[in-house]
Amino acid sequence: MRLLVTGGAGYIGGVVTLHLLKAGHEVTVLDDLSTGHADSVPDGAAFVEGTLEDAAAAVLSRDQYDGVLHFAAKALVGESTQHPERYWRTNVVGSLALLEAMRANAVPRLVFSSTAATYGEPDEVPIVETAPTRPTNPYGASKLAVDMMITSEAQAHGLGAISLRYFNVAGASGPQGERHATETHIIPIALQVVSGRRPTFGIFGDDYPTPDGTCIRDYVHVDDLADAHQLALDATVPGEHRIYNLGSGAGFSVLDVVEAVRRVTGHPVPTEVQPRRGGDPAVLVASSARIREDLGWVPRKPTVDEMVADAWAFEQARAR
Ligand code: UFG
């Protein structure tokens, strides 16, 4: 298929682009490089630098595309509470421009990066797709708005779309990994402690109602996430918007992850308990039953150790 990947110079978009190229698809990446890196665009993909608002229509009118995988977004919960307007513009206005360009150019399928943050604080875990959506920050709210936009676009204009609601994405795919200027994610931060770039790992709260008092999350390997995108691309049905949660279905606490980092790297990770981080739910674990049943998705690397090992290999290769 001829595919457009928005945000393909970022972490997840870059890994998915790599997988799509390996599967024989023809890929164009559109990215404004606001957080991505031009040298993260995998070899073999065409690259256009620009925002969705400025460039999506021009790119999609140049060739007949079979589908779009839409990753381009702002994705920091903390920043979204301080600068919500950035989230409404990039995530909502940008996605609207993309959908309009897709409609104008009769692009039939879309796979969208949605997020567990659309659910907010859950009443029950594991979280199923029919759970109430009550986002607790502008990031989650902006992604939920896009999901709603896509549903109406599918109903009114026949788009075939699938949203994947990611839980905690981790790991690396060979040369493609996490390279955020502002790093907030647990595994890369713990690896910075291992490589001596941070003195200690701060545990954001140890008084949550969980067995060890630290937050529990559902980690999914970025390669498994890429598999899900390929399955989704082949499963879209015109006029339908389906939503699938994407996690490994198991919960790991912050202390479990730190222990995995120690085990895999063989290095000590000194920790210190810090205050809770605002907006962190105690437990977020996905039910991925729906995507397993409907699309046959099975995570191939479900353990945190495998995710840490791949992220560590990526970090070491970068350091060299
Ligand atoms: N944590 C620490 N110390 C750190 C970094 C993180 O204790 O230095 C803890 C956090 O408090 C949290 C857990 O580790 O309990 C995971 O934190 P991350 O920042 O790695 O991930 P989040 O669960 O906050 O966020 C992820 C995605 C978001 C998405 C959210 C959906 O990064 O984009 O899942 O739930 F919105």
pLDDT in tens, 274-296: 999 988 889 999 999 999 999 99
What is the residue with the minimal CA distance to atom 14 of ligand 1?
186
What's the half-sphere exposure (Cβ side, CA atoms, 13 Å) at 225? 35
Would you state the structure tokens that stand for residue 37, as one six-digit string?
A: 């890196």
CA distance linking residue 252 with residue 260, whole number of Å: 10
Amino acid identity of residue 317, one-letter, is: A
Residues labelled as active-site residues: 139
Q: Is the CB of 187 under 6 A from ligand 1?
A: no
Count of CB atoms within 10 A of residue 109's CB? 23
What is the pLDDT at residue 319? 83
User: Is residue 229 pLDDT above 90, yes or no?
Assistant: yes
Residue 318 — pLDDT band, cuts 50, 70, 90?
Answer: confident
User: Is residue 203 pLDDT above 90, yes or no?
Assistant: yes
Q: How far is CA 189 from CA 145, 196, 205, 277, in A?
A: 30, 11, 16, 15
CB 200 within 8 A of CB 270: yes
What is the residue with the minimal CA distance to atom 21 of ligand 1?
185
Q: In a 3-state reduction of DSSP, which class is residue 63?
A: coil
CA distance linking residue 206 with residue 277, whole number of Å: 11
CA distance linking residue 121 with residue 137, whole number of Å: 11
Q: Which atom of ligand 1 is nearest to the CA of 276?
A: 11
Mean of per-residue pLDDT scores for the chain:
97
CB 108 within 8 A of CB 153: no
Mean pLDDT of 161-168: 98
The alpha-carbon radius of gyration of the chain (Å, integer) is: 19
What is the pLDDT at residue 260? 98
Q: Give the pLDDT confidence of 14-62 residue by residue, as tens digits.
A: 999 999 999 999 999 999 999 999 999 999 999 999 999 999 999 999 9
Mean pLDDT of 242-268: 97
Residue 180 — pLDDT band, cuts 50, 70, 90?
Answer: confident
